[in-house]
Structure 1
Amino acid sequence: MSVAKKTTSKISYSLLILVLVFEVIFIKLAYWQYGRMNEKESAFKAFSEQLNQKAVPFDKNVELKDWKVVTISGVFDYENEKLLQNRHYKTYVGYRVITPLMTDDGDYVMVDRGWIPKSWDRENPEVLEDKKGQVNFTGVVRNIPPKKTFIEGPLYGVTKRVIKRLDSTAFPMVSEYKNILIQATTSGNQNIRSFIEKPQTGAMHSEYMLTWSCLALILPTLYIALLYSRRRKPE
């Protein structure tokens, strides 16, 4: 076998290995996006189903599914209120106002009262307060996902009033409902925009899955076409 043929053979094997490596990567990425698509679709389906259900009183004996509509009453603890940073309203960046609520049973639960612009973190906290004493409102249950890593960045932002992620450790009084957040559908404060953060559908992940799947099909096709063209070349 000539030196040229040996070199060509080595290049072919190296190229085959490279193609196989990228093929595995593309397939895994497509499968990952497929899983993410199903997760998002399931979440959106649960969201649609639960919002069509009649509101039930918030109670520890009730199964608190994600997106369940509940009626709740209690007293807000404004002194321990936090601002969850980097939350969006349309194209604007701001905060979600997270206020602990002492329910009628004496247990505390975190309540997302709504969104405020970023500039409001410098305002007096009193301008965000709702009425004093007993409040009654309708909200949506959100289950806080468990931590995925043991190593996380700092919880607090520039001040102890600002938090970078939703974490019950920022609210020591919350013990019974550490993994529950209530998103209020309305706010008694005109400075706060209350709205439900709807889950996204799986459309975006479907597009990503299609992209990776196409690459997984195109790559071996190009490799086979390259081999075929080389074999047809005259010696």
Structure 2
Amino acid sequence: MQFRPTLWPTLITIPALVVLVMFGWWQVQRLQWKTELIQELEIRGAGPAIPLLVDARISAEDLMFRRVTVTGHYMHEAEMHLLNRVRDGIPGINVFTPLVRANGGGALLVNRGWVPIDWPGTSIEDHDVEPVIVEVTGVVRIPDPPGWLTPGNEPEKNAWYFIDLAGMSAAAGVLPFTDYYVFATGEKNLAGEPVPWLAPDPNEWRVDLPNNHLTYAITWFSLAGVLFIIYVIYHTRRRGPDDG
């Protein structure tokens, strides 16, 4: 067997191998970064709840997945429904309600949890009640961007298919929401009266950031390996009787 590399295939293959290995190594670095980020966010979520302050110096990224408490009253007349939320095969919705903060920080959007689509308590007409001051405990979340196949929101029908904080604040008739929302994990009435409405069985929050970098790294390294094998096979031939 003889290995006889030729000029042009070699000039093409070597840079391609370098690029593929670089992409694979970059994904390994991204894997380490994403793993550390997820661990940090899980630590945030496991810590004690802190008061959600009105401070322009604190970014949404600094608060993401942090447990917080916020006090105010709900704008039940502006309740909004995030559609197409299926749980255990049961169609339902996530109920979002603006919370007017007691500390003068404007309105904040709160995800109060999941309910079946036919649950009678999801009608906004049922909320003709006086504002009640509540303390909400929850986790700060940043909305995910809509997917390619996600339908457009229909505010006039209270039909929301993805979280659009600017559109939702306009529909509620309030100043723009913060660039995050709170996933409620509990509510406490500070006036000692019944909370007007609370979605039953709210989703338990979790750090659900995608972490596919290991798969990507394996793909790039595999492509590099396949290319190298093809290169070697292409330039290897059996020695004939006339070869030395």
Query: What TM-score does the superposition give when structure 2 sets the normalisation length?
Result: 0.67
State the match for 1:112 in structure 2.
111
Report whether the alignment pairs 1:184 with 2:181: no
1:43–1:120 CA distance, 2 compared to 1 (3 A): farther
Which range is displaced more, 216-225 or 81-90?
81-90
Structure 1 residues 35 and 196: CA distance shift in structure 2, 3 A:
farther
Say if 2:202 is the partner of 1:227. Answer: no
After superposing the two structures, state which structure 1 stretch, 211-220 or 79-88, moved more: 79-88
* RMSD, aligned CA: 4.3
Residue in 2 aligned with 1:4?
Answer: none
Where does residue 83 of structure 1 map in the other structure? Answer: 81
Are 1:140 and 2:148 an aligned pair? no
* 1:54 aligned partner: 48
Q: Comparing 85-94 with 70-79, which one deviates more in the overlay?
A: 85-94
- Closer/same/farther in 2, CA of residues 126 and 227 from structure 1, 3 Å limit: farther
Instruction: Give 1:109's aligned amino acid.
Output: L
- 3-state SS in 1 of match to 2:94: strand
Q: Does the alignment pair 1:73 with 2:71?
A: yes
- The Cα of 1:221 is off from its aligned counterpart by 2.0
1:165, distance to aligned residue in structure 2 (A): 2.0
Give, as a single letter, the amino acid of the residue that structure 2 aligns with 1:166.
I
CA distance in 1, matches of 2:180, 2:160: 17
Tell me, in whole angstroms, the C-alpha distance in 1 between the residues paired with 2:129 and 2:213.
Answer: 40
Pair 1:206–1:59, CA change in 2 (3 A): same
- CA shift digits 1:53-77 (9 cap, x unpaired): 2211221138452111111121111
- C-alpha spacing 1:90/1:198, structure 2 compared with 1 (3 Å): farther
1:160-219 C-alpha deviation (Å, 9 max, x unpaired): 312222112221245464202111013665653323432246664313322332222222
The answer to whether the 8 Å contact 1:78/1:100 transfers is yes
- 2:223 match: 215
SS at match of 2:100: strand
- 1:91-138 Cα offsets, whole Å, 9 max, x none, are 656432221111102410011111234556996345699995222221
Q: Give the 3 Å change call, closer, same or farther, for CA 98–15 of structure 1 in structure 2.
A: farther
| Counterparts of 1:121 and 1:80, CA distance in 2 | 17
1:101 pairs with 2:99: yes
- Counterpart CA distance in 2 for 1:102 and 1:33 is 43
Counterpart residue number, 2:161 = 164
CA–CA separation in structure 2 for the residues paired with 1:27 and 1:130: 63
Match of 1:185, SS state, is strand
Aligned identity (percent) is 24
Q: Give the match for residue 37 of structure 1.
A: 31
- State the AA in 2 paired with 1:115: W
Distance 1:33 1:153 in 2: 28
What is the CA–CA distance in structure 1 between the aligned matches of 2:126 and 2:27, rounded to whole Å? 44
Which one-letter code corresponds to 1:160 in the other structure? Answer: K
- Paired with 1:234 and 1:130, the residues of 2 have a C-alpha distance of 98
